[in-house]
Chains A and B, each alone.
Chain A
């Protein structure tokens, strides 16, 4: 990565403050009177947002070349397939046709 293509220092602080706000939202959201599914969707959504901020800015994927981005995304693609195939089995075992 060329050194001139990187986040500015103030961007790093901004991302950190955003991460802390998201952490507070996760902690407070976990105690709100909502359904179990709503809790899980909220917590997972916030975790994905935190991951995106860390991956794109702290890990500089936003500034990386295409090939590095492909390698960075490969693990997530396989993880998605891992979950998709497993749950397509477990969640449909009780189905009757």
Chain B
């Protein structure tokens, strides 16, 4: 009887161990399979793959610079718009909001995170892009267009779909992630710290800006980078709204492409080994970038958790 229990214990233990190991295997497998799949393209183009702006299936000449720049640009736009808004939401939910509204508002914001990305895509394509073309783009062109330096970004005619509208949709998509991390780290700021600032006569905003924000700096950065990681890898919404152009344009109103959108649009129709292999290398680049960004965010959040643990 005891032996049987022991055997089952060992069996159960091995099952759980193998399952836990599978996570590592998957991670390694993703890396290895992407490298194997893109080997042809890595050999053919080398490092210049990253800097070449040509993407021409007809001449079998491929470079990743345009989608890399597109990915970084859309994520940057999303960050510029999304970070202040997320910060505002987190401050509102933790400091200002009446207690009864807190939970429903929290759920409403989190519902945004639940909406599948393809729904953002179809909505962006049929509703937001026309709205952007008619109402926002002409206004941007007339307001910012004449300015030196940045004016050139918005001087062209908009077709609705393009880099800037894609960035705006992306901002809405990452706000729930960033604001929920910010909310969590704002909530762990010790009450006595805030109360002492209030006792010294600080206004609510001064408490937020000079007490809460410095205290939760690490966590806030972790949340922002987590959101960025999401933005970099976002696929379906981008495939719908960015317009899928392999040309490099200075104007944000014109179509562009991201690493993920090129994959989504071209992979299943790609012919020829080199074409497929180059597409897989795009995936490899994307996976490397997002893994680095996400690891960095995780390290920040883990550091925060450790500090929090020591304090208690």
Are A and B co-members of a single complex? no
Q: What is the interface of chain B, defined by CB distance below 8 A to chain A?
A: none
